[in-house]
Amino acid sequence: MGTIKQNRANNIVTGGKIDATDGLNNNVPAANIANASLTNVTAYPPSAGAGVSQLASDPPSPTEGQMWYNTTTNTLKQYAQGAGSWVTGGSLNTARYLLAGAGTQTASLAFGGSTGTNTAATESYNGSAWTEVNDLNTARRSFGGNGTQTSALGYGGFTTVRVGSTESWNGSAWTELNDLNSVRNGVAGLGADNTTALAIGGFEPPYSAKTESWNGSSWTEVNDLNTAKREVGSNGIITSGLVYGGQDPSGALIAQTESWNGTSWTEVNDLNASRSSFIGGAGVDNTSALAFGGKNPSPVDVGNTEEWDGTSWTETTDLTTARSSLAGVGTQAAALAFGGGPPASAATEEWTKGLSVQTITAS
């Protein structure tokens, strides 16, 4: 690189003109910059920051993500989410299985399912107890659902036959809208509210790989799953979702996971445990999820819980009550599992990953 010279005026001539022809310049000879000035630094001034804080004891009120070195115990520590656990929540008023759900851990909706016969019952959860609200127009089981406590959608399923009917919840009542293009039960669902959804897989017959997208008024077929399957777990929104487990056309229980990017499905790493029969699912997108319950092998109910970090699944604390055909809502850090069977269950469990002080060790 050539030398860059910046002239600066050093005098004013007659008439007030600036003369820079013999001005000063600020060239710095390369020889004056020694490598040692960069490589032999032994300490930074306080203004440059001290890196990881060195403390004689753990801070009494750390913030999430904070890291420090405890000079008393000679350990590197952080304040972050630790292992999660399940605790018992308020029971459903109507015990049931093959139901659908929407919402969060503290504000959720349970609708439809089977008590042994199909039910249209809808219940709202406030974080401690379920309250009966207005029923679905069509009692059904084995169907897809998504949304929030005040804006939800239910679609497909089985009455005495397979149906494609779609119902929208506005916080107080259900309204029938346009049917799915492909009538099926065993369908999975995901989506943020009653204006956006994906209906995924299921049984027509045969086993289905179809995916349909809801725009608030009608369904449009989009790109299929890589593998036809039914009764999978699912979570996410229409631009970023995940499905996992289920049953393939051979009848085998599978561990397969597929990730949706808003356009197409991509196979990613499998669950650790193959399972089917409507695995419970929670999570906001395809980078963070919780999968729980199901059957493995059929007809054995399991409580297996696994966490997805965007790349792989890790086994964690099991459900207190092993069950299949349950509903799940919420996030990876705060989820809700409810219903299940047969026999029909009213059990509700709350999953929470709390913040805690953790010691960082080499792996």
Q: What is the CATH number of the domain that holds 255?
A: 2.120.10.80
| pLDDT at res. 358 | 76
Q: Look up tokens 């309250």; give the residue.
A: 131
Count of helices and strands (H, E) across the chain: 1, 30
In a domain, 16, yes or no: no
Residues 6+ apart with CB under 8 A from 143: 98, 100, 112, 154, 155, 156, 157, 158, 185, 187, 189
Please count the other Cβ atoms lying within 10 Å of the Cβ belonging to residue 230. Answer: 26
Task: Return the SS3 of 111.
Answer: strand
86: part of which helix (H) or strand (E)?
Answer: strand 75-88
Backbone conformation region of residue 7, classed left if phi is above 0, alpha if psi is from -120 to 50, else beta = beta
The answer as to whether 340 is a domain residue is yes
The structure's pTM equals 0.80
Residue 256, token pair as written in the block? 């397969």
- Residue pLDDT, tens place only, 13-66: 555 555 555 545 555 455 554 554 444 545 545 444 457 889 998 888 788 788
How far is 118 from 204, CA to CA, in rounded Å? 19
The pLDDT of residue 37: 47
C-alpha to C-alpha distance for 148 and 101, rounded to whole angstroms = 9
Round to whole Å and give the CA distance between 152 and 110: 10
Q: Which percentage of the chain shows pLDDT scores above 90?
A: 74
Examine residue 72 and state whether it is found in any structural domain, yes or no.
no
Which neighbouring-strand residues pair with 55? 70
Give a yes or no: residue 158 inside a domain. Answer: yes
**What pLDDT, in 10s, does the model give residues 24-33?**
555 545 555 4
Nearest to 323 by CA among 343, 308, 309: 343
- Please report which confidence band the pLDDT of residue 75 belongs to, taking 50, 70 and 90 as the band edges: confident
DSSP 39: H
In a domain, 317, yes or no: yes
User: Which pLDDT belongs to residue 36?
Assistant: 47
199 part of a folded domain: yes
Pseudo-torsion of CA 150, 153, 159, 161, nearest 10°?
A: 170
Instruction: Please give the helix or strand (H or E) that residue 129 lies within, else none.
Output: none
38 domain residue, yes or no: no
Domain that holds residue 239: 83-353
Q: If we measure between CA atoms, which residue out of 149, 99, 89 comes closest to residue 328?
A: 99
Establish if 78 belongs to a structural domain: no
Instruction: Tell me how many domains the chain contains.
Output: 1
pLDDT tens readout for residues 199-246: 999 999 999 999 999 999 999 999 999 999 999 999 999 999 999 999
Residue that has been written with the tokens 């499998």 in this structure:
270
Polymer length in residues for the chain: 363
